[in-house]
Structure 1
């Protein structure tokens, strides 16, 4: 379950002592989201708890052949249902993704003049190709053994399987990092961190409680629509959506889905929704209506939070969409700021999170909680593949 498509040399789930300096570990985190448009790499130093120092990071777009391969792997995986059979499409995507990941690791550590020997672990999330938590199934592809050998660094991976096996949703997994950053920044509580990637998710952080769940589609439907109608990969700045008119009947149909009424924790696969309801609309009106769905889903999610957030901090690609940001502020009736306003790099936050989670995994600390994924108790997870030194 969950980790097919990943080859292992030596794997273990026990805590590792690592080469931590003063209790701190250097870790590179990697994230290629459900939009499959590129891979982010971030280098941090952390104890996996309250101490975090961000050192460097970068985003690398996939070459067209890699993105096409990953999308083909997603289609092949979805066709299988809750199975992890490696097809030629999936094998091709595994290798392309892993090679891109190795390049990203090498580049981000070279960016600050470090060598592989100065890094303790890589947190390799892999690419989600199918996510069916209600069937006890999640699948992230990537070759952890190959990545470890190419980089010369131990690789923590398979973060989600233990959570799903214990009855959790297997997502979202960044809340622990969101909380660490919010507390260290002295954010007034409660605060909400809204990540708008292919799927959007929210982390609500209170004084003694943390809740997280997927709110609904993020950029995925809008990206699909824009690509189908313009050939572009996304709606830059929300210009197309901002020029169109929302069709209330279509929006109502899109939001009339049982997912939005279900209590958290809950999670989605990128393909749980599609653009079919908007067919027949003009390019601009379809973009406006699908953007309104993303915003409407967040507004519905806000009703499920224990208390209204003091403010919303938006990360991910959606934070660059001025149209979305403006509509969110109107719909939520609270301050909405992008991550840069609080000194965070919103484009790299998820990659930073998986560096942080890699250290927590090595230390045997929880990665998920009842309030974030629905597991019965705080749940450690992940596996460690050693580099052959």
Structure 2
């Protein structure tokens, strides 16, 4: 049993945008943020990215899944072993498939393997318990976003917008005492974000992403296409709700006849419009939107958000947070909560029947 009070936890995240693995240290008691520590990043090579991407949409036992899991474990072990001083590790793994309505959720990578390699307890498989209780299993960062709202001393509701492979928002009311308290949070996936842009640029130009939105800034938006896309049923569902990276797998077909710049601009516009549509669900309009994830570097997407939303849109760096490491920090935070038997999701974040603490704990044999 770990000591009470704050401890150093090491969190790791590999998102569906497939850029690489983020790792970050957090000093926390599972409720409040008390300090930030070292962080590191390990990029995936093109070959590694292709191996993992080939397993997208697949479940344990299917072709390519074991190879993807081994790669995920190796990449995480290489990175996490460089950071010392943690008492617990939070390992998210790599999401390959997510379908809570039918088959559950699948993150590749075995925390037990990492526990043996690192010689530390590893908390992992954060989403399954939530799905088994009827929840969406996503998003899981909102409890940490609530702690961040407290840490920045927000005095009114604020939204954290994560623009990863998929976009998701957390509306947080810092006047509440705990994240599981009614009215403290609302969270859900908004729609596609970076994933289709990354896929298009890789397929057409052999680049992993549109750096700073340079292509999109040169393009023209196909407004009728954006309007038609947002007519899809998902955007009319009441949250909580979640998406898989491949839920809009035909999206690139929609821009197949557009040049590179116009295609990127239109995909950016879809992402931004999806966020704006989602903001209609906020219980109270937020005072500001704080953006994390790779999409905050996309100048075209950020400009579109500033036009569409009725409040300031800022990168989280403006309030002293690290947008590259926020999700890794979130899984450090959640790991401590799991160790201490605390909730990690609630009805207003995933639609789960009641507040639930997810995660398995694997301890090294020696």
* TM score, norm. by length of structure 1: 0.89
Q: Work out whether 1:49 is the aligned partner of 2:16.
A: no
Q: Which residue of 2 aligns with 1:13?
A: none
The 3-state SS of whatever aligns with 1:73 is: coil
Q: Work out whether 1:191 is the aligned partner of 2:158.
A: yes
Q: Work out whether 1:35 is the aligned partner of 2:17.
A: yes
1: CA distance, partners of 2:122 / 2:27: 16
2: CA distance, partners of 1:186 / 1:144: 34
Q: Which residue of 2 aligns with 1:65?
A: 47
The 3-state SS of whatever aligns with 1:159 is: coil
The 3-state SS of whatever aligns with 1:169 is: coil
Q: Which residue of 2 aligns with 1:326?
A: 303
Q: Which residue of 2 aligns with 1:18?
A: 2
**48-57 or 122-131, larger mean C-alpha shift:** 48-57
| Alpha-carbon shift at residue 51 of structure 1 (Å) | 3.5
**264-273 or 205-214, larger mean C-alpha shift:** 205-214
The 3-state SS of whatever aligns with 1:371 is: helix
Aligned-pair Cα RMSD in Å: 1.2
Q: Which residue of 1 aligns with 2:242?
A: 267
1: CA distance, partners of 2:118 / 2:48: 20
* CA-to-aligned-CA distance 1:278-322 (integer Å, 9 cap, x gap): 111111111111100000000000111111110000000001111
Equivalent in 110, 115, 119 of residue 86 of structure 2: 119
| Alpha-carbon shift at residue 53 of structure 1 (Å) | 1.2
**58-67 or 305-314, larger mean C-alpha shift:** 58-67
Q: Work out whether 1:308 is the aligned partner of 2:290.
A: no
1: CA distance, partners of 2:102 / 2:24: 32
Q: Which residue of 1 aligns with 2:110?
A: 143
Q: Which residue of 2 aligns with 1:154?
A: 121
Equivalent in 224, 229, 247 of residue 249 of structure 1: 224
The count of residues paired between Structure 1 and Structure 2 equals 356
**133-142 or 165-174, larger mean C-alpha shift:** 133-142
Equivalent in 273, 276, 282 of residue 296 of structure 1: 273
Uncovered stretches (5+) of structure 1, i.e. residues with no partner = 1-16, 78-83
2: CA distance, partners of 1:85 / 1:195: 28
1: CA distance, partners of 2:34 / 2:16: 26
Q: Does the 8 Å CA contact 1:136/1:164 hold for their aligned counterparts? A: no
Q: Does the 8 Å CA contact 1:66/1:97 hold for their aligned counterparts? A: no
1: CA distance, partners of 2:350 / 2:62: 30
| Alpha-carbon shift at residue 64 of structure 1 (Å) | 2.3
* CA-to-aligned-CA distance 1:45-82 (integer Å, 9 cap, x gap): 1100023311111221012222111111115x0xxxxx
1: CA distance, partners of 2:62 / 2:103: 21
* CA-to-aligned-CA distance 1:89-125 (integer Å, 9 cap, x gap): 1111111110110111112x2xxxx3xxx42111010
| Alpha-carbon shift at residue 136 of structure 1 (Å) | 5.0
1: CA distance, partners of 2:168 / 2:156: 18
Which runs of 4 or more aligned residues in structure 1 lie more than 2 Å from their structure 2 counterparts after TM superposition?
none
2: CA distance, partners of 1:253 / 1:60: 38
Uncovered stretches (5+) of structure 2, i.e. residues with no partner = 177-182
Q: Work out whether 1:258 is the aligned partner of 2:233.
A: yes
Q: Which residue of 2 aligns with 1:100?
A: 75
**How do 1:193-272 residues align onto structure 2 when only pairs under 5 Å count?**
193-206=160-173, 207-208=175-176, 209=183, 210-272=185-247
Q: Which residue of 1 aligns with 2:180?
A: none
| Alpha-carbon shift at residue 85 of structure 1 (Å) | 3.6
The 3-state SS of whatever aligns with 1:138 is: strand
The 3-state SS of whatever aligns with 1:211 is: strand
| Alpha-carbon shift at residue 185 of structure 1 (Å) | 1.3
Q: Does the 8 Å CA contact 1:136/1:167 hold for their aligned counterparts? A: no
Q: Which residue of 2 aligns with 1:132?
A: 99
